[in-house]
Structure 1
Amino acid sequence: MDAPTERSPRKKSRWSLTETDEAEIPEPAPPAEHERTSSFRLAAYGAVLIVVLFAGYGLGRLNNGTGTSTTTTPAAVTSAGTTVINENMPHTHGASGTGAAATGAPIGGLSLSADGLTLRPATTTFQAGKKQRLSFTIVATGGAPVTSYAIVHDKPLHLIVARRDLTGFQHLHPEMADDGTWSIDLTLAQPGIYRMIADFTALVGGQQIATTLGTDLVVAGDYAPQALPAAGNTATVAGLTVTYEGKPDTKAVQPMLMTVTGGAVEPYLGAFGHLVVLRQGDVAYLHVHPEQQLVDGKVKFWVTAPSAGDYRMFFDFQVAGQVHTAEWTLTVP
C-alpha cells in the first residue's frame, strides 16, 4: 500500500477563500460598534448642518439690518435687455448702508458711499438763480463707472435736491451717457447748502444693488435759513387742494391717504403719486410708492417714520398732464 502523499495547500485567491483560509478571516465588527460609527457620522452631519443654518441666519440678520441693502429684487427683462423691477406692491426706498434708525423705517441718502458704490459729482459749487449743468457718476469698487441700471418707476435713477432747511425741493431725472455720466440742468434759486440724493438700483456683477447716495451742493451768498411751516394736513397748489389723512409713527406701518380736490389724479412714473419724506436736521430720506389702485379716489401710501422729530413731506402727483408737488410739515412724537 502506497504511503499517503502530502496534500499541497491551495493557492489563495484574492476573490475567494478555501477551507484552509477560514482561520485567517477577520471577525466582523460587532453590531454595537457599527451602530456607534453610524451614530457618530449622523451626529457630525447634524452638527455641520446646524452650523450652516446658524451662519445663514446670521448673514440674514446682517443683510436685513443696517449693514447693507444689497438685494436681488424680482425683476423682468424687456426685449431691449433693460431690467425692470417688479412694482406691483407699495414699497419704500431709503434703506442703504448709510444706516437706519433703531426703530422705524430704514433711511438713506446720508452718505456718498454705500454698498460698494460711490457718488462722484463733477462739481458741487453753484451760483444762485443760474442754470448750471450737474454731472456725476456712480462708481463701483475699483473706480469703474456703473453703466447698467434697473428701471424703477419708469426711470433708471431718481434725483432729489433740497436745501438743508428743506426748501427748494426738486424731483429730477437726469440722463446717462454711454460712459456712465449722469447729467441734467439744475437751477438752485437761493444761497445755501443743498442736498442731492441719487436713488437707483445698479446692476453690478450680476446683482441688483438698490441704494441711495447723497452729497452736498454749495451755493455761495448770504444764507437765511427758513423755519419749517407749521404742521398741517392741507396744501394748495395750482388751484388744487390736497389733503392727507393718517398719522405715521415709529412703531408700525400706518396708512396715509392723499385726496386731490379740483382735478382727477393720473398715473405718473408708474404710480398715482410719489411721496418723498425728508427729516429735519440731517435730510434723511424716504421715498414711498402707493398702492397700485386708488382707494375711494384717494392715493394710499403705507409709511413708517424713521424716528421722532420734524419732517417735510413732498407729494408728487399729476392732473391733466401736469405734475404738481404738495408739501406739508409732519411732526412725529
Structure 2
Amino acid sequence: MSAFHRFTVRRRALAAAGTAVVLALTLAACGSTDDSSSMPGMDHGTHSSASPSASSSMGDMPGMDHTAAAGSGLSDSRDGYRLTSPETTPTSGNPAAYRFTISGPDGKPVTAFALEQTQRMHFYAIRSDLTGFQHIHPVMAPDGAWTADLAALTPGTWRMFTSFTPDSGSGKGKDLVLSRTVTVPGDVAETPLPAPAATAEADGYTITVQGRPVAGMAHPLTVSFSKDGKPVTDLQPYLDTYAHLTAFHEGDQAFAHLHPTTQVTGDNGGPDLAFHAELPTAGNWRLFLQFQTGGKLHTAALTLHVG
C-alpha cells in the first residue's frame, strides 16, 4: 500500500470517529433536556373523565416536564387542535359550569384522549393576578363536549387552561396545553403577587423549595415537607405522584407543569421530593403545589424567581 493510500485511509477513519463523537454528544444533549384546599381562593375538583381505563402515555412518566412540548399554553390552538367554548362572562360569587370542546385538525370534536397522571383532561383556572387557582378534572360527554364544574369566581379576567394528550389522529401522543380567557363582571380587586420566598404554609404543613432555576435550562428543585418542626413521611400518592406542581408566569400567565422524579412506593412519601424543572422564561413564577395526606388534599402556593 502506498504512503498516499495509507494517509487517505487514516483520514477517513478519523472523520468517521469524529462523526460518531458528535452524534453521541447530540443524543446526550437531547436526553438532558376531593377536597377543596383550605387555602383561600384555591380549589381542586375531583371529577374524573368519562373513561377511566386505558394505558398511560409516555407523558405519564414521573419527572417528565411538558413545558417544551406543550408550549406556554397561551393560545387556543396548536398543531391543528383548537379549544372552543361558549362561556365568556360567567357570573361572580357562584359555582359555574365551564363547557368546552377540543377539535382536531379535521375540525371534528376529539373524543379519544390518553391518560395523563390518571386523567384524560386536566383543567386549570387562574386569575390574571395569579390568584384563585383551581385544578379540575372535567367530565366528557360521548360527543366530545367537556364540562368543568368551577367553584365561585371573583370579578376579573380568568384564563382557563386545558392540558391533554390526543390518543388518535396526527396529534397522537403529543402533550398539548390550550387556553381561553373569560371576564367575570364586577369590581376587580387586584392582589399583588407575593414576593419570592423559599417557604410556604398550608394546613399546618411547611413546604420549603431549594434550587435556583435559570430560564430555558433544566435544573433540579428539591421540595421538603415538615409539620410542627418534624419531617413529613406520610405523603400519599396523588395523580400517580407524591406532589402535583403547576406554575404560572407573572404578567402573561404562561403555563408550566412539573413532576417529581421521586419514585412512588406507597403512603410513605417525603420528607424530600426531587423535581426536574425547566421554566422557559425569566421572572417570577407562582407555584401551586398539591399533595395529599390522610386522604385530604392540600395546596401550597409560593413565588419562585427564575433568573
CA gap of 1:95–1:88, structure 2 versus 1, over 3 A, is: closer
Match of 2:180 in 1: 215
1:305 is displaced (CA, Å) by: 2.3
Match of 2:132 in 1: 168
SS in structure 2 of the partner of residue 84 of structure 1: coil
SS in structure 2 of the partner of residue 286 of structure 1: strand
Q: Which amino acid aligns with 1:171?
A: H
Higher relative contact order (CA 8 A, sep 6+): 2
Aligned partners of 1:126 and 1:188 also within 8 Å: no
SS in structure 2 of the partner of residue 126 of structure 1: coil
Match of 1:72 in 2: none
User: Over residues 24-76 of structure 1, what are the superposed CA-to-partner deviations in whole Å (9 max), with x where a residue is unaligned?
Assistant: xxxxxxxxxxxxxxxxxxxxxxxxxxxxxxxxxxxxx9xxxxxxxxxxxxxxx
Match of 1:158 in 2: 122
SS in structure 1 of the partner of residue 160 of structure 2: strand
In 1, the alpha carbon distance for the partners of 2:221 and 2:160 equals: 26
Q: What's the C-alpha RMSD, in Å, of the aligned pairs?
A: 2.2
Residues 1:274 and 2:248 are matched in the alignment: no
In 2, the alpha carbon distance for the partners of 1:251 and 1:140 equals: 29
User: Please, which runs of 5 or more residues in structure 1 have no aligned partner?
Assistant: 1-60, 62-79, 98-106
1:130-209 to 2 correspondences below 5 Å: 130-205=94-169, 207-209=172-174
2:201 to 218, 226, 236: 236
Aligned partners of 1:248 and 1:305 also within 8 Å: yes
Q: Which amino acid aligns with 2:178?
A: L
1:247 is displaced (CA, Å) by: 1.2
Q: TM-score, normalised by structure 2?
A: 0.75
CA gap of 1:184–1:302, structure 2 versus 1, over 3 A, is: same
Q: TM-score, normalised by structure 1?
A: 0.70
In 2, the alpha carbon distance for the partners of 1:171 and 1:145 equals: 23
Q: Which amino acid aligns with 1:290?
A: P
1:160 is displaced (CA, Å) by: 1.1
Match of 1:331 in 2: 305
Q: Which amino acid aligns with 1:93?
A: H
Aligned partners of 1:83 and 1:149 also within 8 Å: no
Q: Which amino acid aligns with 2:251?
A: G
In 2, the alpha carbon distance for the partners of 1:134 and 1:191 equals: 16
In 1, the alpha carbon distance for the partners of 2:114 and 2:126 equals: 25
CA gap of 1:119–1:296, structure 2 versus 1, over 3 A, is: closer
1:146 is displaced (CA, Å) by: 0.2
User: Over residues 293-316 of structure 1, what are the superposed CA-to-partner deviations in whole Å (9 max), with x where a residue is unaligned?
Assistant: 279731110112212111101111
Give percent identity, aligned residues only: 36
1:81 is displaced (CA, Å) by: 7.3
CA gap of 1:153–1:137, structure 2 versus 1, over 3 A, is: same
SS in structure 2 of the partner of residue 95 of structure 1: helix
Aligned partners of 1:128 and 1:187 also within 8 Å: no
Aligned partners of 1:96 and 1:114 also within 8 Å: no
CA gap of 1:108–1:307, structure 2 versus 1, over 3 A, is: closer
1:183 is displaced (CA, Å) by: 0.6
Match of 1:314 in 2: 288
Aligned partners of 2:244 and 2:291 also within 8 Å: yes
CA gap of 1:275–1:168, structure 2 versus 1, over 3 A, is: same
